Amino acid sequence: MDIVTPSLGLVFWTSISFLLLLFLLGKFAWKPIMKALDDRERSIEDALSAAEKAKDELARLNNESELLLKEARAERDLILKEAKQLRDNTIADAKGLAQVEANKMIEKAKVEIDNQKNAALAEVKNQVATLSIDIAEKVLRKQLEDKSKQENLVADLLKEVKLS
């Protein structure tokens, strides 16, 4: 049949046309188009992965800053605590010292008072002794003014010695 018999002319022209078209389109259309498509796809992929990376980086940074903040807070607390302790210690020390000093002063005062007291007592004793001797002397002088009284006394004293 005619319609299933390929005519040579059309075969000839189709071959030429197709090969020419393949060459021309390949050179001027497919090559730049495929390249542009590949480039664009690659750039989109790169951009997406870069965004993902940036997101990760941001999360990491956030984490880090949070950690840092926590650390800083802890450190602040520690410092405050230490400061408080130091203050307390200082106050306690100062109190202690003051107490010791006071005690020392009191002790000193006590000692001084004792000394003074002792000194005064000694004075009083001396005074009393002197007075007593004076009194005794005067008494004795008065009593021993006559001879008889002296002899009586000696006699008494001698009696006493005989007895003992």
Number of H helices, E strands in the chain: 3, 0
What is the full DSSP assignment across 94-109? HHHHHHHHHHHHHHHH
Cα separation of 164 and 62, whole Å? 115
Using rule CB under 8 A, residue 51 touches other proteins = no
Among 22-30, 56-64, 70-78, 119-127, which window interacts with other proteins (CB under 8 A)? 22-30
Burial of 158 from C-beta contacts in 10 A (0-12 / 13-18 / 19+) = exposed
Using rule CB under 8 A, residue 39 touches other proteins = yes
Using rule CB under 8 A, residue 30 touches other proteins = yes
Among 13-21, 54-62, 76-84, 134-142, which window interacts with other proteins (CB under 8 A)? 13-21
Cα separation of 112 and 103, whole Å? 14
Closest to other proteins by CB, 36 or 54: 36
Using rule CB under 8 A, residue 48 touches other proteins = no
Cα separation of 81 and 59, whole Å? 33
Closest to other proteins by CB, 11 or 121: 11
- Residues in the interface with other proteins (CB under 8 A) total 34
Using rule CB under 8 A, residue 50 touches other proteins = no
Residues with Cβ within 8 Å of residue 150, at least 6 apart in sequence: 144
Rounded to a whole number of angstroms, the minimum distance from the CB of residue 60 to other proteins is: 30
Q: Which residues bind other proteins (CB under 8 A)?
A: 2-15, 17-18, 20-22, 24-26, 28-34, 36-37, 39-40, 43
